[in-house]
A and B are shown apart, each in its own frame.
Chain A
Amino acid sequence: MIPVFVVLLYVIVAIMVIYTIRHYFFTLNRLFGRHRQPYVDIGSAAWPRVAVFIPCHNEEKVIGHMLDALLDGDYPADRLALIPIDDRSTDGTLRILQDYAARFPGRVAPFFRTGGTGGKAAALRDASEHATGSDVSIHLVFDADYLPGRGLIKQLVAPFFDPEVGAVMGRVVPLNVNKSLLTRLLDLERTGGYQVDQQARMNLGLIPQYGGTVGGVRRSALFEVGGWRDDTLAEDTDMTFRLVLAGWEVAYQNRSECYEEVPERWSSRIAQIKRWTRGHNQALVRHWWPLLKRPPHLRRRTVLDGLLLLGVYAVGPLLMLGWGLALLLYYLGVQLAAGLAAIFAVAMYSTLGNFAAFFEVAAGVRLDGSRGRVRLLPFLIVGFLVSLVSVTWASVTQVATAWRRGPRPWEKTARHRKPELGVPDHQEER
């Protein structure tokens, strides 16, 4: 049995090494590589008709700010339809939406759901099928807590002038950074994820991920791949891979920033990351084999990147398993290599492996032109520990309950904004 444990541990370490190399590669590419940002300069054009979907479930604290920000945008008003989707809210959301619809007829056209499967994916599916005319060619999606700038819609629509682009993703920037240690850590994570990881993917022609908000999908591409699926908890990852497998490009626009409210409480964060985990794992199960078969239009490196992206939440339980095996082998007195070689290997792996993620975040912060917040870098480990346990627990329970049929419950992320105070606080000094 011991040789099996040893081999298993080697396999896990090898997978971690691959992810480590990927981190270093992406970060160095973002720092020194040529940036692909081909669409940011489009300022005037024959703008297509766009529908902006905003799924809402009890969003009275934030939806007003969101609609105000969109109505204040510079996208031609006659080309833009705002479609807040009220998904059985029990607070004041419905009243707020009716008020906006009355004040902005033809511009704000809420879609009210009173039945069917709950959750964002189902809401998007229903609204995208019923609430738009055939002249709408672009569907943008925002979460209700976001605050888009004036020019954001144009920036997000611009890539769709490229007929190969099926989806677009912008950069998400936390708004409530200075609320707690958690919000500060999430700010660092987001910086690494968008400023470095997503942009490097864009630079390298890999698979930038459509993130389900601050982005959108070409209507024809959406319906070509079968529309939004309501049986997934991560409709964004699912859509990314369905589009890529069908031959569409996903474009990332680092310049197109939108502010969001990140979870301020650990319980909200844990619920959020568990939902992401389950949704991402669903996408892994659905798409790893079609991706591995490599459709002719995909390059090998794109397939490799796609598989690593799909597996990113499966790494959590693998890492925990690795820790468990290491602990077991420690008690058994088993060494993976002879004498000094084992110590060298473990020390190098711990140092280089741990450092890769910190390097990515630190590079992102530095590129952002901010310096003070990078001092929190070592504290990322505490967020990492919480995430690792949450991801593992979500994965294990997902496998354990895989036999259950029917829709998975959707857990909404809690909002912390006080509506009467308006937009709470602005970005801290960076």
Chain B
Amino acid sequence: MPGKTPAAALEGARRLEALRIHGHLGGVIRPHRAMAGIPWTAWRFVTTVALGLGGFAGYVALLPFIGRFWQVLFERGRAWLGLEALIGDQLLVFPGGISFTVPSVEATTPIPDLRVLQIAGLVSVGVLLLSFLLPQRFTPLRYFLRLLAIVQGTAILFFWVSAEPFPYRIADHVFILLTAGLVVMGLVPLVLGLTLHVFDLAFWRKLGLTAAIVVHLMVFVPLNVLIHVWLLLHATAVVMPVLFLVFGLLLNVFIFVAFYGWALSWTGDLERRKLPPPVHLG
């Protein structure tokens, strides 16, 4: 505009742009949700990479500490739960030469006798019957109970008919679940880098969520494994397949998903600053 300085013209354009999206009673005029996209800025790229890779590097650096923390938890847990098992440590060597120790559990793996198998069979049949008695609004629970009964049924069948010894000991079970837990925890910053940090949430929220999930799993994984050990010592190896396949790694993943869903319910930067989402029309 003639007579205006570039700074004044820019300010005028900004005010005009602000007016364009200014709605009734001070609301924001958003594009239709069909058009909405996610803003992508250099800062977002930097923070995504930094939080993803930096978070992973930080986690790797913490691994020896996590190993020691788990060791303490296992020692205490053995006393709390009265586990008849020896807690040792086991050297874990991850790719890249990262080595640290995680707790190990030395205990005789109880093999089910006929009486235990009969009890397990009765419980499985009971669970199966319950799944048919529940009202239809509990359909997901009915299906889940049937899944449990089927997996448990295969375990009973194995111990009943198999001539081969059961190929896993409590020590193997513990080692696999702890290691898998460590892998899931390591994936947290990387997966969030791809699936959360790309959204317009505040940096501190992203950082906080990454830390919250890792810390939560850091406590949950060993406690879950300790409960597994207690159950295995009391209910014998006949429950190991169900614990391993249904209540092991999958639980970690769904805790992760629950945190993720919670994080995406938070207010985004654009909404907080009363700005509409961008439209990437091609």
Contacts and interface: CB of A to CB of B under 8 A. Distances in A.
A205 to B, nearest CB: 10
A44 interface: no
B33 A195 contact: yes
A355 interface: yes
Interface string A306-345: 0000000000000000000011001111000000100110
Interface in B137-184: 137, 139-141, 143-144, 147, 151, 154, 158, 162, 164, 167-168, 176, 179-180, 183-184
A365 B264 contact: yes
Overall SS of chain B's interface: helix
B191 interface: yes
Interface stretch (B15-23, B36-44, B225-233): B36-44
Contacts of B262: 375
Interface in B167-205: 167-168, 176, 179-180, 183-184, 187, 191, 194-195, 198-199
Interface in A32-56: 32-37, 40
A32 B281 CA distance: 10
Given A203-B282, A346-B249, A385-B144, A355 B36 contact: no
Nearest to B187: A351
A331 B154 contact: yes
A296 interface: no
Contacts of B36: 367-369
Contacts of A266: 136-137, 139-140
B267 interface: yes
A35 B176 contact: no
Contacts of B267: 371
Nearest to B268: A366
Interface string A372-407: 101111100111011001000000000000000000
A36 B282 contact: yes
A2 to B, nearest CB: 13
Contacts of B38: 31-32, 366-367
B33 A367 contact: yes
Interface stretch (B4-12, B58-66, B104-112, B251-259): B251-259
Contacts of B250: 350
Given A34-B280, A35-B37, A265-B136, A331 B258 contact: no
A386 B143 contact: yes
Given A377-B260, A382-B140, A382-B144, A351 B184 contact: yes
Given A266-B139, A351-B191, A358-B260, 14 more contacts: A31-B198, A33-B280, A33-B282, A34-B281, A37-B281, A327-B151, A327-B154, A347-B180, A351-B184, A358-B257, A372-B265, A381-B254, A383-B140, A386-B140
27 contacts: A31-B198, A34-B282, A35-B279, A35-B280, A36-B282, A37-B281, A199-B34, A203-B282, A257-B34, A270-B139, A327-B151, A330-B241, A330-B245, A331-B158, A347-B179, A351-B256, A362-B260, A367-B37, A369-B277, A371-B265, A372-B265, A375-B261, A378-B258, A382-B140, A382-B144, A385-B147, A389-B143
Interface of B: 30, 32-38, 40, 92-94, 136-137, 139-141, 143-144, 147, 151, 154, 158, 162, 164, 167-168, 176, 179-180, 183-184, 187, 191, 194-195, 198-199, 241, 244-245, 249-250, 253-254, 256-258, 260-262, 264-268, 277, 279-282
